[in-house]
Structure 1
C-alpha cells in the first residue's frame, strides 16, 4: 500500500546507516505494470487483460491445471499466462526494466 511504499525508502536508509556495506535498490512494480498495460505494444505485448491459458471471461476463471481450459499458441503476445502468473516474456520485461533502472511509460 501507499503508506508502506513511502516508508520503505526511509527504513532502508536507516538500515544502510546501521549496516556497513549495505546496498539496496527499490523497484516499483506497480508503476512498471501500469506502463506496460497502458502501452503494451511498446513492450511487445498484444494482450495484457486476457490470460493465455484458462477458461471463462478473460480466461481467468480456472488455472491451466484443470481439465477444461483454453491455451493459446502465441504465448509471447500475452502478459498473463494464467489468471495469476505472468508469462516468461512479462517476467523478462520486469527484470530488464529492473536492471536498466528506468521505466519510460
Structure 2
C-alpha cells in the first residue's frame, strides 16, 4: 500500500508542499539555494561560461536537501512529486520575496 497522495493539479499540491516546509530554516535554505541558482545562471550566461549551468541542480537541491534532512526531518517532496515540487520551489521563493511567507 502506498502512502503517496494524489493531486489533480498544482493548486491542490501547493498547500501540501508548504506543510512539508514548515521549518523556517528549511525555507531559508530553499530561498538561499534558489537565489544562488538565479545568480549563477545569470553569471554563466553573461560570462559565456555555460558549463556552470550544470551545477544549478546541485546548488538548488543541495541547499534544499540540507534543509529537509537536517532541519525539517522529512524526505523532500522532489522524490515523489518532481515537477510539482520544482514548481513549488519557485512559487514559495516568490511568496517569500513578496512577504506572503515568512522566512
Q: What TM-score does the superposition give when structure 2 sets the normalisation length?
A: 0.28
| Greater RCO, 1 or 2 (C-alpha within 8 Å, sep 6+) | 2
Query: TM-score under structure 1 normalisation?
Result: 0.28
Answer 1 or 2: which has greater helix percent: 2
